């Protein structure tokens, strides 16, 4: 051994000294733990002092007690020291090894001692670049239980081997040349050792940066230490040449060796398979042999070489066809599952980067292959969960793959996460030429917090039952962590009723672990944002249900104290809410009400139990009533010698509402004091329901209004009746509240009623509930009494604060208005001003809502004048609600244009049917438009005002015609509206040439609206006018009025049709054209008098200047010359008869000339 590497190996035990009476141990492995797996699904405390970090029915994560000083046994290592640490654990010896800057530490990581016996090996002067590599070896046969140690200088290639770490000090002084060798490296050209793996019994295999693999044989054929080396692979000539010319920096020479694995021994123990894989996917299999003379050599005839990357491109799970692939092989493990499985099946861990449409995606794959001398067969692949950074940014160390025996689960270590994925059995029967993407029976991920620095890992095979396969992680500052995968039965099938790969079951498991093990300083229970609501919702509901009924496997089977049971379950639900808030924020609106409802039910039950858990006389009666209710409703399973009440509170809290409702009703009718009843209601409704609603739900705009679970019974009505009996009547026990607790009860009770009722009303308003009107009626009738109960006991400020607390500003306005009778106006004005300044438009809009609903327009126009900005904003956002008052405000501020617009919208509003109001509104709108234009406006506004004025005038024409008709008919019955019936109208005013039945059928739907002075449509008003006899009672203008109204119709086709019908009815149903056309024997005066006496003449005198109306008359006459099918009995048929019999066209022309 060179002098520079010599040193004294000092085994140290940092634990407290053992008792002198204790027998000496033959090996430092004698204190190892033998942990037995707990029954799956029922978490229990870990054995041998290990700290359980999390657990479910599939796996457990525990921190082992043995923490050597190098990992922070007494204090955390410094950041620099932690960064220099490199460690791993050995499956064969169950020891851990950590290499630091100055020492190598070896200890049994499964030791039960907090500070285990640790062997420390000084390294002397640190290497200038790469540090040393250290490998634990199997104990020498028949000599010791302790592992051996091989130390490799990664720069010089020097290898030292020690058979036993316990006897290493003596070996270090002996310096046997048989325990040393040197792997020849071209250090000057940049070659160094990058990887060392234990491939015993063959020895230690090392890989260099030049992709050279050298086997270091540790023992001779007799098993004695004797180091020698055999080169398995040489670097390509191009790489050797590049190295000779200019050297090589780390990573420059291309795809490094990523895995060296030992295959099963063969040839009667004289040979062994060694597998080598590089990052490019080059797979090499060597057969190592020992000659008859005891010399090791490689049988190159049995060497196989395959490029696995070429088999990958068409066999990637989840790859979009046509995507560009960039793959990197990261690790390889032989898959040894059982004796029936072939020994030539391997699982590769591959990082695949695919690029589709310019978008890069990174994923990890498990690739299962069967590789032998006949070739490579891809058996299947599976895409692992999670997303990696791009290949250039893969973390160091790169992801590693472990498949502990019995080979049913693959452990993939990636950064600060461990992916566990079950593997399908690898049997010869399942291997076929058809490739398949396999879906694992179960898969999950354990994430560690970012503060946890993992410096190495290893694995544990399942040697015998009841051991479990495990992944072992070595951390800086937190010791060793073991992740055990439970095997439920020999086939690895699950005992769960549900599919373990079901995302709901998987998420439920994560949630349960988070709330029961959330205090862990190592495990990160947060999940990614990929879960959808249809997965989150059932998972959360299932967890909530298992806590409510105490069926969760994480809860104790029985509690000696019901209070302790409630305390733990309440804490778990609160943790669940916080976990859901931080992990499922996008779905919180749907699941938070479910969790809060469960929390409220549990706390209602808890507070009720706290009241009855005493031995006073009243409580005894209360318990008796409660037990009778529970038994009567069959809410617990009947059994002998059972505590009915405790059993109900443990297993059936979900039914607390009907129980509490019935309990309150029976107590109210019993001899139990009213004070105890009020205490029960305050402690349940306020301290449980109201408190949690305010803490989690109230004010959360993302959660839509929903029906509170309390409203599934009559509990709130019962509670309000008890409130009224106690505080709203002259009950001497509650008349004078002389203690702060009694006053607080009143305030809390009032606030609870107020809150619950407003919540119910908000929900019904959103859902258009049929009972909304009744609830509003009841609420508006009762809430005044609640406020008076506070005011009468000197709690005025509290009454106002209750509304303010929940930003229910409408109720604030109600309370302030109520205080006007008791307080000075200045006080109310100051309060309004405070709320305006404090809450701005949010309060102002509700205040205006209140005043408008109460028709207190003067409050808005006078008291709220200082808040014009809010008023104008409110008028703009609520034009329909505020138009009755906004136009007055606009007149006050001389904004005539806005006033005219508001008046027009108010007048056109279908809800404003009163003719008098509409006439006033249109008149004011017209006037405001005229005044606005006279004050000077831009051209566009002026045009709009002109149109508005014309529109108003047109509407006034129709309104006035209808009003005049109503007044004239009313004058015949002395303005007694009830006498104006359809029968009266038809009997006295109907045109005798019209069919009575047809007229009644046509005008009956709207005639009562006409009588009530409601607005008729233009078509309805025309029908009514043209049905009147124009020759009697002074109705000679009905047809001219009808034509005026028709002219107001904006739709041209409708106008033309209505005007045509009016002209036809006028010509055919009014004047006697046979008499008028019989001129023979008459003087000119008689004929002229008959023409001027016609209804047509009177109508033309009014409308002859209206070109559009007259053009319709021309169209009517013109059509008489056309040949078309005429319906029998129609006005067209009658007009055609007049053309033939009376030459009607000539006489109409005569009347038109006479009317000019």
Does residue 95 contact residue 138 with C-beta atoms inside 8 Å?
no
**Does 616 have pLDDT greater than 90?**
no
* CA pair distance 533, 587, nearest whole angstrom: 6
pLDDT at 24 (0 to 100): 40
* pLDDT at 1096 (0 to 100): 86
Q: Which two tokens stand for residue 821?
A: 């009778």
Q: If you average pLDDT over residues 431-460, what whole number do you get?
A: 80
**Whether the Cβ atoms of residue 166 and residue 11 lie closer than 8 Å to each other:** yes
Q: Is the peptide bond before 883 cis (omega within 30 degrees of 0)?
A: no
Average pLDDT over residues 4-8: 33
- Give the separation between CA 313 and CA 26, rounded to whole angstroms: 55
Element (H, E) at 875: helix 868-877
**CB 1054: neighbour CB atoms within 10 A?**
13
pLDDT of residue 890: 85
Taking 50 as the threshold, does the pLDDT of residue 518 lie above it? yes
Q: Give dist(CA 348, CA 382) in Å, integer.
A: 11
Can you list the pairs that 389-395 forms with residues at least 24 positions away whose Cβ atoms lie under 8 Å? Answer: 389/362, 390/353, 390/360, 390/362, 391/326, 391/328, 391/351, 391/353, 391/362, 394/328, 394/351
3-state secondary structure 151-183: EECCCCCEEEEECCCCCHHHHHHHCCHHHEEEC
CB atoms within 10 A of CB 370: 18
Statement: residue 141 has pLDDT above 80: no
Q: Which pLDDT score, from 0 to 100, does residue 1005 have?
A: 92
- pLDDT for 317 equals 54
Q: Whole-angstrom Cα distance, residue 160 to residue 686?
A: 75
Q: Is the pLDDT of residue 16 over 80?
A: no
The predicted structure's pLDDT at residue 320? 56
Average pLDDT over residues 180-197: 82
Domain ranges of the chain: 308-448, 895-971, 976-1155
What pLDDT does 652 receive? 93
- Return the percentage of the chain with pLDDT > 90, whole number: 30
Identify the pLDDT of residue 26. 44
pLDDT band, residue 821 (cuts 50/70/90):
confident
User: Starting at the edge strand that comes first in sequence, how are the strands of the sheet with 180-182 ordered?
Assistant: 133-137, 148-152, 158-162, 180-182
Are the C-beta atoms of 349 and 399 separated by less than 8 Å?
yes
- Enter the pTM of the model: 0.69
Strands 117-122 and 436-437: unpaired
CA quadruple 985, 988, 994, 997: dihedral sign: positive
**95-104, 385-394, 501-510: which range is least confident on average?**
385-394
Share of the chain above pLDDT 70, in %: 82
pLDDT in tens, 148-166: 899 998 888 889 998 888 8
Question: What tokens appear for 632 in the block?
Answer: 């009567």
**Residue range 699-724: average pLDDT?**
90
> Tell me, what's the pLDDT at 910?
56
Which of 254-258, 269-273, 720-724 has the highest mean predicted lDDT (pLDDT)? 720-724
CB 553 within 8 A of CB 57: yes
pLDDT in the model for residue 246: 47
- Indicate the range of 167-171, 275-279, 290-294, 1090-1094 predicted with least confidence: 167-171
Query: In angstroms, rounded to a whole number, what is the distance separating the alpha carbons of residues 536 and 1083?
Result: 101
Average pLDDT over residues 69-82: 63
Span 895-971: which CATH code?
1.20.58
For the chain, counts of helices (H) and of strands (E): 37, 33
The pair of three-digit structure tokens given for residue 97, joined into one six-digit string: 């090894």
Task: Report the pLDDT averaged over residues 521-536.
Answer: 89
Distance CA 1052, CA 1046 (A): 10
Q: Tens digit of pLDDT for each residue in 446-498? A: 999 988 999 999 999 998 888 899 999 999 888 999 999 998 665 444 444 55
Q: What is the mean pLDDT of residues 373-394?
A: 75
- Kindly state the average pLDDT of the residues 978-992: 89
pLDDT of residue 495: 44
Mean pLDDT for 214-242 is 78
Pairwise pLDDT comparison (7 vs 242), residue with the higher score: 242
Quote the CA–CA distance of 698 and 807 in Å, as a whole number: 10
Q: In the structure, what pLDDT confidence band is assigned to residue 330 with cuts at 50, 70 and 90?
A: very high
Please tell me the predicted confidence (pLDDT) of residue 818: 78
Q: What is the pLDDT of residues 671-687, one digit of tens each?
A: 788 889 999 999 999 99
For 773-783, how does the pLDDT look when each residue is reduced to its tens digit (9 = 90+)? 888 888 878 87
β-strand pairing of 375-383 with 436-437: parallel
Task: Please give the Cα distance from 1082 to 1087 (Å, whole number).
Answer: 6
Measured CA angle at 560 (ends 557, 566), to 5 deg: 80
As given in the structure block, the two tokens for residue 1062 are 């009016």
351 forms beta bridges with 328, 364
Residue 911: count of CB within 10 angstroms of its CB: 6
């Amino acid at each position: 051994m060179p002098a520079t590497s010599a040193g004294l190996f000092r085994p140290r035990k940092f634990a407290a000294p053992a008792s002198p009476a204790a027998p000496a141990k033959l090996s430092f492995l004698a204190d190892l733990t033998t942990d037995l797996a707990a029954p799956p699904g029922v978490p229990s405390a870990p054995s041998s002092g290990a700290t359980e970090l999390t657990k479910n029915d599939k796996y457990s994560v525990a921190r082992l007690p043995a923490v050597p000083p190098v990992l922070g046994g007494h204090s955390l290592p410094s950041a620099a020291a932690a960064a220099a640490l490199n460690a791993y654990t050995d499956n064969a010896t169950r020891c851990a090894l950590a290499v630091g800057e100055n020492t190598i530490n070896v200890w049994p990581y499964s030791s039960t001692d907090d500070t285990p016996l640790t062997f420390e090996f000084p390294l002397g002067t640190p290497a200038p670049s790469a540090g040393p590599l250290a490998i634990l070896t199997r104990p020498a046969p028949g000599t010791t239980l302790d592992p051996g140690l091989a130390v490799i200088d990664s720069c010089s290639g020097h290898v030292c081997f020690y058979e036993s770490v316990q006897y290493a000090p003596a070996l270090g002084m002996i310096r046997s040349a048989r325990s040393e060798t040197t792997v020849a490296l071209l250090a000057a050209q940049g070659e160094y050792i990058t990887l060392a793996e234990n491939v015993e019994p063959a020895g230690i295999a090392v890989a260099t940066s030049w992709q050279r693999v050298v086997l270091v044989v540790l023992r001779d054929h007799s098993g004695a230490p004797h180091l020698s080396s055999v080169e398995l692979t040489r670097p390509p000539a191009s790489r050797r040449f590049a190295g000779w010319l200019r050297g090589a920096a780390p990573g420059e020479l291309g795809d490094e060796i990523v895995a060296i694995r030992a295959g099963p021994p063969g040839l009667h123990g004289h040979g062994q398979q060694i597998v080598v894989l590089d990052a490019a996917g080059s797979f090499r299999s060597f057969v190592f042999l020992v000659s008859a003379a005891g010399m090791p050599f490689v049988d190159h005839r049995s060497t196989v070489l395959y490029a696995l990357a070429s088999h990958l491109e068409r066999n990637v799970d989840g790859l979009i066809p046509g995507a560009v692939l960039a793959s990197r092989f990261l690790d390889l493990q032989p898959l040894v599952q059982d004796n029936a499985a072939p020994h030539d099946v391997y699982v590769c861990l591959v990082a695949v980067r695919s690029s589709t449409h310019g978008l890069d995606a990174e994923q990890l794959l498990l690739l299962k292959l069967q590789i032998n001398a006949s070739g490579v067969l891809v058996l299947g692949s599976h895409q692992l969960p999670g997303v990696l950074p791009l290949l250039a940014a893969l973390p160091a160390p790169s992801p590693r793959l472990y498949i502990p025996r019995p080979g049913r689960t693959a452990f993939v270590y990636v950064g600060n996460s461990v992916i566990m994925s079950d593997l399908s059995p690898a049997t010869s029967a399942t291997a076929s030429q058809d490739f398949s993407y396999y879906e694992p029976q179960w898969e999950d991920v354990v994430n560690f917090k970012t503060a946890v620095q993992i410096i190495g890992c290893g694995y544990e095979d399942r040697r015998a039952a009841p051991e479990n396969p495990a992944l072992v992680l070595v951390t800086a500052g937190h010791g060793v962590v073991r992740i055990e995968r439970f095997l439920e039965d020999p086939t690895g099938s699950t005992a769960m009723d549900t599919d373990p790969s079901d995302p709901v079951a998987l998420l439920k498991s994560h949630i349960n672990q988070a709330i029961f093990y959330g205090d862990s300083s190592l495990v990160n229970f947060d999940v990614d944002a990929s879960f959808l609501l249809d997965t989150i919702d059932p998972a959360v509901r299932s967890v909530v249900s298992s806590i409510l009924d105490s069926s969760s496997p994480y809860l104790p089977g029985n509690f000696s104290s019901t209070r302790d049971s409630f305390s733990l379950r309440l804490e778990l639900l609160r943790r669940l809410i916080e976990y859901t808030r931080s992990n499922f924020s996008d779905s919180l609106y749907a699941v938070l009400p479910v969790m809060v409802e469960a929390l409220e039910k549990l706390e209602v039950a808890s507070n009720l139990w706290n009241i009855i858990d005493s031995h006073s006389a009243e409580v005894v009666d209360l318990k008796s009533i409660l037990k009778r209710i529970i038994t009567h409703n069959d809410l617990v399973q009947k059994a002998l010698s059972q505590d009915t009440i405790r059993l109900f509170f443990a297993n059936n809290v979900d039914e607390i509402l009907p129980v509490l409702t019935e309990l309150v009703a029976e107590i109210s009718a019993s001899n139990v004091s009213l004070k105890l009843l009020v205490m029960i209601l305050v402690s349940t409704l306020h301290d449980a329901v109201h408190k949690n609603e305010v803490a989690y739900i109230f004010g959360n705009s993302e959660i839509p209004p929903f029906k509170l679970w309390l409203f599934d019974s009559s509990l709130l009505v019962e509670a309000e009746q008890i409130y009224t009996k106690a505080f709203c009547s002259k009950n001497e026990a509650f008349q004078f509240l002389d203690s702060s607790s009694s006053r607080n009860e009143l305030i809390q009770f009032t606030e609870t009623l107020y809150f619950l009722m407003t919540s119910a009303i908000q929900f019904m308003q959103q859902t258009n509930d049929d009972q909304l009107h009744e609830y509003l009626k009841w609420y508006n009738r009762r809430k005044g009494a609640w406020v008076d109960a506070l005011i009468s006991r000197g709690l005025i400020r509290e009454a106002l604060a209750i509304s303010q607390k929940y930003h229910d500003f409408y109720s604030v306005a109600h309370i302030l208005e109520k205080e006007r009778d008791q307080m000075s106006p200045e006080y109310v004005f100051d309060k309004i001003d405070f709320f305006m300044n404090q809450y701005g438009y949010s309060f102002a809009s509700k205040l205006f809502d209140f005043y408008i609903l109460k028709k207190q327009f003067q409050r808005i126009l006078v008291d709220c004048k200082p808040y014009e900005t809010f008023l104008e904003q409110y008028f703009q956002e609520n034009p329909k609600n505020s138009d009755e008052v906004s136009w007055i405000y606009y007149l006050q501020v001389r904004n005539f244009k806005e006033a005219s617009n508001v008046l027009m919208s108010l007048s056109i509003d279908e809800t404003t049917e009163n003719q008098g109001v509409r006439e006033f509104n249109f008149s004011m709108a017209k006037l405001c438009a005229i005044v606005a234009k006279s004050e000077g406006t831009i051209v566009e506004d002026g045009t709009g005002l002109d149109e508005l004025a014309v529109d108003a005038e047109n509407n006034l024409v129709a309104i006035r015609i209808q009003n005049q008709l109503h007044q004239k008919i009313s004058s015949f019955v002395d303005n007694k509206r009830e006498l104006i019936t359809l029968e009266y109208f038809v009997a006295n005013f109907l045109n005798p040439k019209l069919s009575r039945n047809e007229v009644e059928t046509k005008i009956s739907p709207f005639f009562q609206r006409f009588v009530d002075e409601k607005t008729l449509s233009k078509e309805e008003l025309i029908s009514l006018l043209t049905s009147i006899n124009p020759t009697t009672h002074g109705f000679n203008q009905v047809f001219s009025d009808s034509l005026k109204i028709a002219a107001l119709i904006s739709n041209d086709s409708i106008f033309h049709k209505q005007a045509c019908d009016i002209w036809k009815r006028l010509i055919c149903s009014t004047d006697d054209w046979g008499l008028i056309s019989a001129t023979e024997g008459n003087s000119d005066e008689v004929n002229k008098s008959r023409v001027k006496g016609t209804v047509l003449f009177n109508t033309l005198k009014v409308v002859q200047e209206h070109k559009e109306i007259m053009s319709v008359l021309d169209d009517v006459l013109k059509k008489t010359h056309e040949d078309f099918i005429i319906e029998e009995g129609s006005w067209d048929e009658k007009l055609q008869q007049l053309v033939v019999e009376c030459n009607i066209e000539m006489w109409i022309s005569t009347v038109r000339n006479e009317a000019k």
